[in-house]
Amino acid sequence: MSLDIDYYELLEVERTADDAALKASYRKLAMKYHPDKNPGCDDSEARFKAISEAYDCLKDPQKRAAYDRFGKAGVNGGAGGFGGGNGADFGDIGDIFESIFGSAFGGGRQQRGPARGADLRYDMEIRLEDAFTGITREIQVDVAARCDTCDGSGAKPGTQTNRCSTCAGHGKVRAQQGFFMVERTCPTCQGAGEVIADPCNTCHGEGRVDRRKTLTVNIPAGVDEGTRIRLSGEGESGARGAAPGDLYIFLHMARHKVFEREGTTLFTRAPISFTTAALGGEIGIPGLDGRMHDIAIPAGIQSGKQLRQRGAGMPVLNGRGHGDLVVQIDVETPTRLSARQKELLCEFRETETGEECPASQGFFGRIKEMWDDLTD
């Protein structure tokens, strides 16, 4: 693209824009047209260089005044680009690159020293009864733990570590790449800032060794599928004495033979005889709280009807109270009848008027009306 475009037009600001507006617009445009975000696009690269040239001029009060009066001819004789002390400010570009690519371009803002230990995951299956009451469980995990011989330093006891000569103890090295500065982890000390001349014989300089640990996990009442419990500092130890990671326990509910769960509500299905459905009655459902819950069956109940027992469900996690128990009724038709039972049912059928089952009577009434309409 042509570099004769007005600097204010390049930065998409008014000529009266203040320093904050200039910087904000420059950052937005630099992120938009940066070559790394537009690989292989010559127009984007040219635009990026042009807006950097424009911002380098306008952010300087003296250069901006000369540009406003004489144009590019008033700024170093019109010399542009990135050379000869006229390039974009590395501090500004570093801020922009950090927002695009992360803290690798943060100009030394990352924490010096070995990296924190890795977090670990442990999947645990528990019963619904355990989730109802809460439980304490012991688990064993294999982790990279702090070396007892060197106390995690990585150096042989009685010896010391030396400052890294490559990075001068900073843990980072900088390199010029084109028009900007890139900061990377030091390849010699791996970011520790120190090197070990005489490594520990037990951990060979790592500061940690593989070990199996036994941990106690307290599982509160009310946990559900996918509940995550964090054990701070029980993950892998960091290299050379760095802080350890955490251990995350992910809970899974074993399938229950009676209940299904949705949040704090427990569901179950209860088949009842058709005589109980017709006459009404009562059934007992054992709860996870160890009590028998009597569920009243109203006369004439139909299959699919749900009956709710308040407060007989799961406890609220880290709260008070319980959810409900919901019992879905399934009316079971008898399949094995004695001769006497069949005789009684036949007698009952002879006394039916149709009003005993209004839904059935209504349905077949509509069927008759439809048939009469079709045959007229």
**Greater confidence, 35 or 122?**
122
Task: Find out whether 41 is annotated in a ligand binding site.
Answer: no
Q: What is the pLDDT of residue 88?
A: 42
pLDDT tens for residues 267-305?
999 999 999 999 999 999 999 989 999 999 999 999 999
41-57 confidence digits (pLDDT tens):
888 888 888 888 888 88
Do 208 and 306 fall into the same domain? no
Annotated ligand binding at 200? The verdict is yes
Q: Does residue 117 sit in the same domain as residue 100?
A: no
As a dihedral over the C-alpha atoms of residue 22, residue 24, residue 28, residue 29, rounded to 10 degrees, the angle is 10
- Is it the case that residue 125 has pLDDT exceeding 70? yes
Is position 1 within any domain?
A: no
Residue 138: pLDDT above 70?
yes
Structural domain includes residue 2? no
Same domain, 207 and 240: yes
**Is residue 40 domain-resident?**
yes
Taken in order 136, 138, 142, 147, the sign of the CA dihedral is positive
Q: Are 63 and 75 in contact (CB under 8 A)?
A: yes
Q: Which residues pair with 162 in a beta bridge?
A: 195
Res. 16: pLDDT tops 80 = yes
Lowest average pLDDT, out of 104-108, 176-180, 297-301, 333-337, goes to 104-108
Same domain for 311 and 284: yes
- For residues 122 and 227, membership in a common domain is answered with yes
- CATH number for the domain that contains residue 78: 1.10.287.110
Q: Is residue 116 a contact partner of residue 242, using CB atoms and an 8 Å limit?
A: yes
In the numeric block, the tokens 């590019």 are attached to 72
* Residue 115 burial (CB count, 10 A): 16
Residues 222 and 310 both lie in one domain: no
Residue type, 375: T
How many structural domains are present in the chain? 5
When pLDDT is cut at 50, 70 and 90, the band that residue 89 belongs to is very low
- CATH assignment at residue 120: 2.60.260.20
208, 236 in Cβ contact below 8 A?
yes
Same domain, 132 and 146: yes
| 189 labeled part of a ligand binding site | yes
Q: CA 193 to CA 165: how far, in whole Å?
A: 9
Same domain, 11 and 74: yes
pLDDT in tens, 234-249: 999 887 777 899 999 9
Domain span including residue 230? 112-155+203-255
Average per-residue pLDDT for the chain: 83
Sign of CA dihedral 271, 272, 274, 279: negative
Let me know if residue 60 belongs to a domain.
yes
287 part of a folded domain: yes
* 150 annotated to a ligand binding site: yes
Q: Are residues 94 and 14 in the same domain?
A: yes
Q: Is 45 a member of any domain? A: yes
Q: Find the mean pLDDT for residues 101-113.
A: 45
* Whether residues 66 and 26 fall in one domain: yes
Residue ending a domain, choose from 105, 139, 168: 105
pLDDT digits (tens, 9 = 90+) for 53-71: 888 888 888 788 878 877 7
Which residue do the tokens 């999947």 mark? Answer: 123
SS3 8: helix
Q: What is the pLDDT of residues 204-239, one digit of tens each?
A: 888 889 989 999 999 999 999 999 999 999 999 887
My answer on whether 131 and 240 are in the same domain is: yes
Cβ–Cβ < 8 Å for 7, 50: no
The answer to whether residue 351 is domain-embedded is yes
The answer to the question of whether 346 is labelled as a binding residue is: no
Q: Token pair for residue 324?
A: 């409900």
Give 316's pLDDT tier (boundaries 50, 70, 90).
very high
More confident residue, 266 or 43: 266
pLDDT of residue 206: 83
pLDDT at 356: 82
pLDDT at 107: 42
Pair of tokens at residue 303: 């299959």
Q: Looking at the structure, do residues 298 and 177 belong to the same domain, yes or no?
A: no
Percent of the chain residues topping a pLDDT of 90: 39
User: Mean pLDDT across the stretch 166-188?
Assistant: 79
- pLDDT value for 34: 82
In a domain, 134, yes or no: yes
Residue 35 predicted with pLDDT over 50 = yes
